[in-house]
Amino acid sequence: MNAVQEPERTTVSSHPIPPKVAFYVLASIVVSFLAASSAPTPLYATYQAEWGFTPITTTIVFGVYAIAVLAGLLVLGKLSDHVGRRPVLITAIAAQAAAMLVFSTASGVDTLLVARVVQGLSTGAALGAVGAAMVDINRPRGTVANAFTPGLGTALGSLVSGFVVQYLPEPTHLIYLGLLAVFAAQAIALTLIDETVGRRAGALATLVPDIGLPRSVRAAVTAAAPVLFAVWALAGFYGSLGPALVRTLVGSTSAVYGGLGLFVLAGIASLSALALHKTRATTVMYTGITALIAGVAITLLSIRLEWPTLFFIGTAVAGVGFGSGFQGGIRTVMPQAESHESAGVLSLLFVVSYLGLGVPSVGAGLLVVHGGGLIPTSELYGGLVIALALLALAALLLRGSQLHPLTAASGTRASDLPSTQKAECAA
């Protein structure tokens, strides 16, 4: 059987933006997309006051976004491996801009849901393509950027939106129009960068959801997936219950406090991704699980004692767990994927992540309304996250020995190893 040929990369620049600058343009797209996803978080209290919906509606809006991202990842996640990165990204940015327009003119829950669906689909389509494009340009830096930029975007979106809501006029319009301007600038920049992969046949076939994985990454994904699910379940906790929980503990209705918990979690996560990017990836995952368990335990204690300061300390420790666990999982898997497989593999990693983000948070929303209120639900959710982290630790201990030390540590691609070592990675 003939081996699948990797498409040739662009070697001659035909556009004015050099690869090094193009890398930062691509990284900024991840930041802006994730910032847009967290921007509505501090606004939910405003929407609830204006439109009179219940807390369960907030959870539904949050869950719809996660489901839409999953749909985008499953249906469109591999498309850029066949048609190129730029066409997928430009289309995704156009859809994201349309979502910002719908948000800015929303007059009820129905339009809010429409905006969240469009936003989720475009985010799902973009995440694999933009992450793979960064890896195409510079594999080691691209792998680290894929772990660093989501947390940075989430942190900035929640905090900036909170300040806009608290201190500027027309917050339900202004934050989205600002993001619209950012997306317009990024779309223009994308037209000026070079494509990183050639076209391949089979684009239509990729639109049929397929969870198959290349043999070379299966062991790594098996080890990393439970960790990714656990750390993103933590993000779901702060995205769905965090705003109301922080305001309850602090005793304030300020929108800044509404976004502060998610900002601390995601901001510390990004810093930890940078601080540990030279540490062996499996070691980083172990660090992430340990910090996640400790951070959530401290957070649960703060809820019981009603100590806001302790809550943010726990959140910061949990943020180390989020950032370390996520980047460790990405760095364990992505170096073993070939360039023509990168978008599909990365998309499947985000599928696992967004399942962790969406499923527990939707269940939590139902419990807030029907199971005893915010505090008991928060304690139950925190306990679930700790249980997931312990299961992830057990899975990692069972599977971690199968991960090749070079690819897990240094960002070396499996195909760049000697043949004997490559065989180990594929085993």
CA distances from 313 to 14, 204, 233, 256, 291 (A): 50, 48, 19, 18, 12
pLDDT at 260 over 60: yes
Rounded to 5 degrees, what angle do the CA atoms 153, 156, 162 make? 140
Per-residue model confidence as pLDDT tens digits over 363-404: 777 777 777 778 888 888 888 889 888 988 888 787 655 554
pLDDT score recorded for residue 277: 81
User: Burial letters for 247-258: b for 16+ Cβ neighbours within 10 Å, e otherwise?
Assistant: bbbbeeebbbbb
Dist. CA 290–CA 292, nearest whole Å: 5
- Say if residue 427 is exposed, middle or buried (CB neighbours under 10 Å; 0-12, 13-18, 19+): exposed
pLDDT at 100 over 60: yes
pLDDT at 334 over 50: yes
pLDDT score recorded for residue 152: 87
**Which pair of structure tokens corresponds to residue 37?**
């996803």
Instruction: Look at 254 and 326; give whichever has higher pLDDT.
Output: 326
Dist. CA 242–CA 246, nearest whole Å: 6
pLDDT score recorded for residue 212: 66
**Which pair of structure tokens corresponds to residue 101?**
């327009």
pLDDT score recorded for residue 15: 66
pLDDT at 1 over 70: no
Q: At which residue do the structure tokens 């994730």 appear?
A: 34
Dist. CA 348–CA 330, nearest whole Å: 11
pLDDT at 8 over 80: no
The pLDDT confidence band at residue 294, using thresholds 50, 70 and 90, is very high
**Which pair of structure tokens corresponds to residue 219?**
């062991």
Q: What is the mean pLDDT of residues 357-363?
A: 78
Q: What is the mean pLDDT of the chain?
A: 81
Task: Please state whether 325 falls in left (phi above 0), alpha (psi between -120 and 50) or beta.
Answer: alpha
The pLDDT confidence band at residue 409, using thresholds 50, 70 and 90, is very low
pLDDT score recorded for residue 400: 55
Model pTM score: 0.76
**Which pair of structure tokens corresponds to residue 22?**
């193009």
The pLDDT confidence band at residue 329, using thresholds 50, 70 and 90, is confident
pLDDT score recorded for residue 181: 95
Dist. CA 168–CA 175, nearest whole Å: 10
pLDDT score recorded for residue 184: 95
Percent share of the chain, pLDDT over 90:
22
Dist. CA 326–CA 73, nearest whole Å: 17
Concatenated DSSP letters of 366-406: HHHHHSS-HHHHHHHHHHHHHHHHHHHHHHHHHHGGGS-HH
pLDDT score recorded for residue 176: 93
Q: What is the mean pLDDT of residues 219-227?
A: 83
Domains and CATH numbers, the chain: 19-198+213-426 (1.20.1250.20)
Highest mean pLDDT among 2-11, 67-76, 180-189: 180-189
Q: Which helix or strand (DSSP H or E) is residue 2 part of? A: none
Per-residue model confidence as pLDDT tens digits over 276-286: 888 888 888 88
pLDDT score recorded for residue 257: 76
Dist. CA 285–CA 192, nearest whole Å: 37
Percent share of the chain, pLDDT over 70:
87
pLDDT at 157 over 50: yes
Instruction: Look at 270 and 201; give whichever has higher pLDDT.
Output: 270
Instruction: Look at 402 and 311; give whichever has higher pLDDT.
Output: 311
Q: Which of 98-102, 267-271, 354-358, 402-406 has the lowest mean pLDDT?
A: 402-406
Instruction: Look at 69 and 6; give whichever has higher pLDDT.
Output: 69
Dist. CA 376–CA 296, nearest whole Å: 15
* Residue 199 DSSP one-character state: -
Dist. CA 385–CA 124, nearest whole Å: 24
Q: Report which of 138, 395, 375 is spatially closest to residue 249, judged by C-alpha positions.
A: 375
**Which pair of structure tokens corresponds to residue 114?**
């429409």
pLDDT score recorded for residue 180: 95
